[in-house]
Structure 1
Amino acid sequence: MADIIARQHVAGIHSKQPWFVLSASQFYTHQTPKHPYISHFYSFTMDSEAGETIAIPDGCVDLLFDCDNENPASLVCGTTLQAREVRFNPHHSYFGVRFIPGIVPDFLNVIAAELIEQQSSLTDVVCDSNYICEQVVKADSFMARVNLINSFLEQKQARIPSRLTSQLVAKICAEKGNIQVQDLERYSGYTTRTLQRQFQQDIGLTPKTFIRAIRCQSAVYSINHLDNVTFTDLASGLGFSDQAHFLREFKKLVHVTPMQYQHKVKQNQYLDHLTTW
């Protein structure tokens, strides 16, 4: 029962890549209760002017399909550790599935650490995946692709992390990243060395790095969804020692300052880009 509750807490963190949303003409997203280890499915088409965009830390693994009929591609993408540029093809339609933070699919023929800041061809790391890649590209709608991946995943398993990692991932997400490693020591009763070893084995990240990713997502989510958020309150609520520390960390992980990002969100009407199925 405790593991189920822990997964539900983490599943409540629906991490998105905000720059992908802002760079897309429309960004479709769908949550499903069918697979407890999936955060959501998503689909988008890049605007003609959007070539390069920014990926930010999210602590997640994605399966991403470029559904162009002439030049399709399928990738497994691990989380980045700081803001970095990624390139999409203008006018191409992309479809993805994001696993909840801290979950690494068990059907990938790589260890968790090898996914960090990497993009690998899906057919290189998943046996017998050519068929599903072809079917996803050929599908004529977003929900048809969702159903194909749901059926594919019914035959697969998630790489279930240890009970310790599961509980601590849930705790970090419940606290929105406002927690220190020493707090995790007291919460779990284990030393920092043990926590680091177990985290890296299970999800390829240290507890501190995972905390940074979740805190980054929490800050971005607040700016995206709250009209009157102040950076002083946001910094304090996320446990930063002062606003200057928050500003430096945000720019490192999101590529711009909080004020610049907030302006971009309002100027481009972030929420209007999102369509939920």
Structure 2
Amino acid sequence: MAAPRRDTRGIVDADELLARVRFRRYLPAGALRPYLEHYWLIDWDLTEPYATHVVPHPSVNIVFQQDQEPRGEVAGIGLGLFTRKLERRGRVSGVQFRPGGFRPFAPHAPVSRWTGWHLPLTDVLRAPGGDPVPDPDPDAFLAPDDDHARVAALDAFLLGLGPHGEGPAPDPRAGLATALADRVRHDRSLRRVTDLAREAGLTVRAVQRLFAAYVGVGPKWIILRHRVHEVLEHAENDRAVDWAALAADLGYADQAHLVRDFTATVGVPPAAYRRH
């Protein structure tokens, strides 16, 4: 990966959000790239409040934010629509981990333990000796006005969680989980967990256990979440959408199942969202 991805997949009403905030992505240091998707930085200065909505990816995030008081937290995978109200001035420096990439930074517990939770860093992360990490000063990641200084601070913090200042030691099972999650993300022909298990040479139960321990959600959930992301992207960007054909392309039994999943996640049917 030579550059961070530039799509807005998962962001509801992306054009509205990007008209109100400065949003950027940066790649981490090379030693961290097996574990991280990218860093994401957001700054805003609003005259009136704005609520942003995101259909979360199957990724754990570390988030340093400055709204009322600077703070840092681990955000486990969100199972539903994430809503955040932005007011006045604020700033976020975030770390999006690859599916499977967070476990080496907190090897003492399955990643599923953090799913759906926002927790202090000291409750989750571990230093090289196994002790909880010292609580870092959020200003180190938020105060600099230069983006590269914020990125350098994030690099230094995460690299310092490894025994030699080079990030955590490789974990083959984390690598396998990441590889399988990437297959689900990029191969739309993978529509069943049984197909994924067969490709990996594992039982379905073994794949489910691997994902619970290293990703935080099951492979079926990830398949469904990527479908919703795909529908959202079509609803955002296509002038006209053949919902029945899209349902078939994504492996749904019929259009009604697509509408059900999208509505349960986003809150409105895809056609109504498209009209809006």
Fold similarity call, TM over 0.5? yes
Q: Unaligned 5+ residue runs, structure 1? A: 1-7, 265-277
Shift of 1:62: 1.0
Paired residue for 1:241, among 253, 256, 269?
A: 253
Shift of 1:98: 1.1
Query: Which moved further from structure 2: 244-253 or 146-155?
Result: 146-155
Q: Is the 8 A contact 1:38 1:97 kept in 2?
A: yes
1:18 maps to: 11
Q: Percent identity?
A: 24
5 Å-filtered alignment, 1:61-140, equals 61-68=60-67, 71-108=69-106, 110-126=109-125, 127-140=132-145
Shift of 1:146: 1.6
CA root-mean-square deviation: 3.1
Aligned equivalents of 1:13, 1:200: Cα separation in 2: 29
1:56-92 superposed Cα distances (whole Å, 9 cap, x missing partner): 2310111112124x51121211111222544444432
Aligned equivalents of 1:178, 1:46: Cα separation in 2: 43
5 Å-filtered alignment, 1:1-277, equals 16-19=9-12, 21=14, 22-23=16-17, 25-32=20-27, 34=30, 35-36=32-33, 37-44=35-42, 45=44, 47-50=46-49, 52-68=51-67, 71-108=69-106, 110-126=109-125, 127-156=132-161, 157=167, 160=171, 162=173, 164-176=176-188, 178-264=190-276
Query: Which moved further from structure 2: 210-219 or 47-56?
Result: 47-56
> Structure 1's 29 and 233: CA in aligned 2 closer, same or farther, altered over 3 A?
farther
TM-score normalised according to structure 1 size: 0.77
Q: Is the 8 A contact 1:176 1:214 kept in 2?
A: no
Q: Unaligned 5+ residue runs, structure 2? A: 126-131, 162-166
TM-score normalised according to structure 2 size: 0.77
Give SS of 1:92's match.
Answer: strand
1:160-208 superposed Cα distances (whole Å, 9 cap, x missing partner): 4615423321211122485111212322232211211121122221111
Give SS of 1:130's match.
Answer: coil
Aligned equivalents of 1:15, 1:191: Cα separation in 2: 34
Aligned equivalents of 1:61, 1:14: Cα separation in 2: 19
Normalized per residue, which structure has more helix?
1
Give SS of 1:106's match.
Answer: helix
